[in-house]
Amino acid sequence: MSDWYDAPVSLLHGVGEERAKAFAGIGIDSVGKLLEYFPSRYEDYRVRDLTEVKDGERVTLAGTVYGEPSVRFYGKRKSRLSVKLVMDRVVVTAVWFNQTFVKNKLTPGKEILVTGKWDKHKLQITVSEMTEVDSERAQKRGELAPIYPLGGDMTHALLRKAIQQGLRQYGEQIPEILPPEIVSRYRLMDRPAAIRAIHFPRDAEEGRQARRRIMFEELFLFQLKMQALRRIAREQTEGVALPIPMEEVRTFVRGLPFPLTDAQKRVIKEILTDMRAPYAMNRLLQGDVGSGKTVVAAIALYAAVKAGYQGALMVPTEILAEQHVQSLTALLAPHGIQVSLLSGSLTAKRRREVIGELQMGLTDVVVGTHALIQEDVFFSRLGLVITDEQHRFGVEQRRILRSKGLAPDVLFMTATPIPRTLAITAFGDMDVSTIDQMPAGRKPIETTWKKHEQFHQVLEHMRTELRKGRQAYVICPLIEESEKLDVQNAIDVHAQLMQVFPEYGVGLMHGRLPAKEKDAVMQAFLSGEYAVLVSTTVVEVGVNVPNATFMVVYDAERFGLAQLHQLRGRVGRGSEQSYCVLIADPKTEIGKERMRVMCETTDGFELSRRDLELRGPGDFFGTKQSGLPEFKVADLMSDFKALEVARQETAELVEKDEFWTDAAYLRLRQYLKREGILDGLVFD
């Protein structure tokens, strides 16, 4: 970075080596980091007129000490100090609790500023802060004071003073980084002025404009990284333009046993356009439970095979792999396309046969689990890789599968609807296609919320469905009893339901079962041997049992909206009316709101938006694997429009040849290089 940014904070007048340790405690070791340590909010120290102040409001008032202060002691070590102040010809009482040391500063005739809570009826202010007008802190008068996140030995006084000194010594060296046309187009404050104003705004409007500039810069630079990554990846991976016979694809689509929705048609067009382009596709396909992602995958696989290439579909579980093989075979086999299964449960002989057929090009499409990425698996001509429930696979696993071919097209699929805000942030280096429409004729799942004491009613409703020959899921948050959490557990509920429904088979499944036992339990439920399946959330993804029409979720308040929606999606997969009952006694308003929202809508995208509002971005994905950046100023919810604009501007910018060569964009290229995006490239 430039000299000003990397200059040690100890070089600032008034800081030195010893105080620099306090700055290191909050992650500041350079002037650049100091000046970009932005306030989280402001305290309003602007002096107000008494006629403007509302009762109970926090306010700063200017007054002159009138008369001697008095102290009254009460209780153990408690005190009340009061003094009269004259303000605008009005006498008010200023009160301090347990701060007798202030008395010596309250000499008659002294002008002071007091900040605290105003009691309009008593004409009294309970003081939290006092400033002597003739002191060094008199600068606070009329000011919005920045409030920062602190830690260790750091104080606001030390931090503010150092920032002021940093601006005095290095403020003239702060460069503009955004292109002039961007600054002009969006009427942004210039960067040096914005950094100065966000710390010490002259008024609220200047503070808003400074925040707006820095917020946009954060989002712009983040999106620039994402868009640069996309272009570089596209150009460095010499993909193959698949010669897809479009008329054959249209004939295949016309022959499907159901019409496609407009949303399916739109995403298919996006995917086939990528596949026909001379670079490797890197696309995320997201769609709600039951929105028809599988048929989209089938059309893409059909197109790849008809272009002379093989396709691979990787899924997280063997049951899911077997279901995909059945559905894809039904769609593709009539057109002469060979679909095979490759999973860990195959016999050694069958596994060798499948691998041999792949290598010789006799198998067109292979569906499998992690078995697809084992070292001895090779393809004859791999052209398309699809991963279902992409968040279940790590980056390295996806990379290995891609390496099985020469830069094949890659399509990631997920049934977890992601709000657009997060999709273009967490998956900004991918193109995103969204199926936001459900097939016609699908009946919405009726969702109700019951308290634990109403469970007997729920069991009667379940019995009604079982008598019709239907099946039911009962979902529990824990496997076995826990002393710490008073929540229903799968083992106890299984034992209870075996007594309630002795005439029906009741299965039990949870994450601690070995994979083979899980598969056996699920197969028994699929075949109808079990009418009821008690399970933890391992049934959340992918399993398709059309005969299951009833679901109970115990202690539903322990789940986020997105997860509840995924669980609910295990029913309603057939033509019969399905039901989901949430058993919950939420203690918080947010918990109650989640239950209400679940009962109001079955739209996964609306639920994900509400979930984001209730929980925040980090909790939406789970903090550890979220992949979301931590912005200093920008907020993904309130600044969504700016995020969209930044994405559009940077996407257009990186496609311009002059961006990579012209001096006007040198600082942005240097930024990308510092971030490791342009490793190995040199700029003058």
Residue 112 covered by a domain: yes
Residue 464 backbone dihedrals phi, psi, to 5 degrees: -60, -45
Of the residues 386, 407, 435, which one is the last residue of a structural domain? 435
CATH code for the domain of 56: 2.40.50.140
| Average pLDDT along the chain, 684 residues, taken 10 residues at a time | 78 85 87 91 76 85 89 88 88 92 89 88 89 54 74 84 92 91 95 94 89 94 86 72 94 91 94 91 84 92 95 84 89 93 86 90 90 80 83 54 74 76 65 81 87 91 94 83 63 90 90 79 88 80 79 88 83 87 89 90 80 60 48 80 89 90 88 75 42
Residues 466 and 567 in one domain: yes
Q: Which residues pair with 414 in a beta bridge?
A: 286
Calculate the alpha carbon distances from 133 to 45, 145, 161, 537 in Å: 13, 16, 18, 63
DSSP per residue over 402-458, as a string?
HTTSSS-EEEEEESS---HHHHHHHTTTSEEEEE--PPTTPPPPEEEEE-GGGHHHH
User: d(Cα 195, Cα 138) in Å, to the nearest integer?
Assistant: 23
Of the residues 141, 159, 194, which one is the last residue of a structural domain? 141
Residues 329 and 386 in one domain: yes
User: d(Cα 438, Cα 262) in Å, to the nearest integer?
Assistant: 10
Q: Which helix (H) or strand (E) holds 270?
A: helix 262-276
User: d(Cα 546, Cα 323) in Å, to the nearest integer?
Assistant: 12
Q: Which helix (H) or strand (E) holds 191?
A: helix 191-199
Task: Label residue 378 left, alpha or beta by phi (over 0 means left) and psi (-120 to 50 means alpha).
Answer: beta
Host domain of residue 364 = 246-435
- What is the b/e burial string over 25-39, where b = at least 16 CB atoms within 10 angstroms of the residue's CB? ebebebbbebbbbbb
Residue 495 covered by a domain: yes
Q: Where do we find the tokens 């008329």?
A: 247
Residue 474 covered by a domain: yes
Q: What type of residue is 449?
A: W
- Expressed in angstroms, the distance from the first to the final Cα of the chain is 14
Question: How many CB atoms neighbour CB 156 within 10 A?
Answer: 14
**Considering its fold, how many domains does the chain have in total?**
3
Residues 356 and 471 in one domain: no
Residue 544 backbone dihedrals phi, psi, to 5 degrees: -120, 105
Question: How many CB atoms neighbour CB 538 within 10 A?
Answer: 17
User: Is the sign of the CA dihedral 255, 257, 263, 267 positive or negative?
Assistant: negative
Of the residues 549, 570, 601, which one is the last residue of a structural domain? 601
Residue 382 covered by a domain: yes
Residues 413 and 511 in one domain: no
CATH code for the domain of 584: 3.40.50.300
Residue 171 covered by a domain: no
Residues in the chain: 684
User: d(Cα 112, Cα 115) in Å, to the nearest integer?
Assistant: 10
Residues 414 and 515 in one domain: no
Residues 364 and 490 in one domain: no
Residues 407 and 464 in one domain: no
Strands 124-132 and 365-368 come out as: unpaired
DSSP per residue over 124-174, as a string?
EEEEEEEEETTSGGGGGTT-EEEE----TT--HHHHHHHHHHHHHHHGGGP
Residues 403 and 293 in one domain: yes
Long-range contact set of residues 180-186: C-beta below 8 Å, sequence gap at least 24: 180/664, 182/220, 182/649, 186/216, 186/645
On whether the CB atoms of residues 157 and 176 are closer than 8 A, the answer is no
Calculate the alpha carbon distances from 300 to 194, 264, 273, 487, 591 in Å: 49, 12, 11, 44, 41
Residues 413 and 277 in one domain: yes
Q: Which of 478, 469, 579, 586 is nearest to 531 (CA)?
A: 469
Residue 160 covered by a domain: no
On whether the CB atoms of residues 191 and 175 are closer than 8 A, the answer is yes
> Cα-Cα-Cα-Cα dihedral of 191, 195, 198, 201, to 10°?
-90
Q: Which of 7, 2, 33, 4 is nearest to 171 (CA)?
A: 4
Q: With helix as H, strand as E and coil as C, how does 108-123 read?
A: CCCEEEEEEEEECCCC
User: d(Cα 32, Cα 618) in Å, to the nearest integer?
Assistant: 27
Residue 348 covered by a domain: yes
Residues 461 and 430 in one domain: no
User: d(Cα 533, Cα 510) in Å, to the nearest integer?
Assistant: 10
Residue 628 covered by a domain: no
User: d(Cα 9, Cα 32) in Å, to the nearest integer?
Assistant: 9
Residues 468 and 575 in one domain: yes
Instruction: List Cβ neighbours of 270 (8 Å cut-off, separation of 6 or more).
Output: 283, 431, 433
Residues 463 and 406 in one domain: no
User: d(Cα 290, Cα 207) in Å, to the nearest integer?
Assistant: 47
User: d(Cα 60, Cα 117) in Å, to the nearest integer?
Assistant: 9
How much is the pTM? 0.62
Q: What type of residue is 296?
A: V
Model pLDDT, residue 149: 85
